[in-house]
Structure 1
């Protein structure tokens, strides 16, 4: 574990605050633009203002980024409508859906399930490390029955990207 990270330290997605600001900005920009157009057309009313505000709130909920945090033996995901956590040392299943919006689905032996974008792990090596450490412990206990190979491939691919970025930054590539 890196020297700067204590054993019990909780790590979080570094880009979450910026993504949250972007969601707020997009929602407010949409609301302002629609209000401006509706006002210029002379059709603005209280009912339409409420409708546009509802549309802006819906956009905010859709764009709201999942907040992923991890500590020793656990990983939690909080969204605008749902919260969940898994014990990474008790993982039983890991699935990676490679659809339009890639999702990583983790399930533990306690029946807990979380789902989030695997790019969050690519952008946060400390989260990746916490998940990897928990998955190794789960594999050692014989609990991780489904998705061990897929998780290994994902970790290797993400580690390869990190190594490539280090080599490019240092001028060795």
Structure 2
């Protein structure tokens, strides 16, 4: 078996499973609460039960995180029904989208588009290294015309969090 950071192997979000189970627990808690309220009021009927299942399912869909993975020259984000993928060595733009939750929008020369949470890259340095490796090649080839500032600030953030993790692990915090 090869090294985990070998060029051919994909890096994945290490916290994805925990976040997905958290979404399942939240949806299950809502469903349980709604059924308990119905049972306590004595108004449990089939159509209301179907509505409660639909509401808890909708909550799960909203809370379920995207599974982010990256390999040599690509980055992918997989939701429940669809996967979006970009070639990191052919990136043409990287933008930070602000709002309720910050997002990083990546576009490649082939028309691929991926929107991810930048915190995923901060928490998983291997994913960041795969993206950075491809983005550097893209910038060197003259393709990446928009987004070097966003990538630079994200690189500083990843470096800062990695240094903090090293200090915590060594007891120097």
Superposed pair shares fold, TM > 0.5 = yes
Partner residue in 1 for 2:71: 71
In 2, Cα distance between equivalents of 1:93 and 1:82: 22
Partner of 1:13: 13
- Which residue does the alignment assign to 1:86? 86
Shift of 1:32: 1.0
**Which residue does the alignment assign to 2:170?**
170
- State the Cα distance separating 1:69 from its structure 2 match: 0.6
1:172, distance to aligned residue in structure 2 (A) = 3.5
Task: Name 1:142's counterpart in structure 2.
Answer: 142
Hey, what does 2:154 align to over in structure 1? Answer: 154
Moved more, 6-15 or 75-84: 75-84
**1:81, CA displacement in angstroms?**
4.2
Separation (CA, whole Å) in 1 of partners of 2:24 and 2:164 = 33
Provide the C-alpha distance between the structure 2 equivalents of 1:25 and 1:146, rounded to a whole number of angstroms. Answer: 40
Moved over 3 A (4+): none
What is the alpha-carbon distance in structure 1 between the residues aligned to residue 45 and residue 111 of structure 2? 49
Q: Which residue of 2 aligns with 1:117?
A: 117
Give the deviation of 1:4 after TM superposition. Answer: 3.7
How many Å separate the matches in 1 of 2:30 and 2:127? Answer: 33
Q: Is the 8 A contact 2:103 2:115 kept in 1?
A: yes
Residues 69 and 127 in structure 2, CA contact (< 8 A), matched pair in contact too: yes
**What is the root-mean-square deviation of aligned Cα atoms in Å?**
1.2
Q: Distance in 2 between matches of 1:168 and 1:25?
A: 30
The offset of 1:99, in angstroms, is 2.1
Q: Which stretches in structure 1 are left out of the alignment for 5+ residues?
A: none
Check the 8 A contact 2:95/2:147 in 1, yes or no.
yes
Q: Distance in 2 between matches of 1:151 and 1:75?
A: 15
| Higher deviation after alignment, 154-163 or 42-51 | 154-163
Deviation for aligned residue 1:40: 1.0
| Unaligned 5+ runs, structure 2 | none
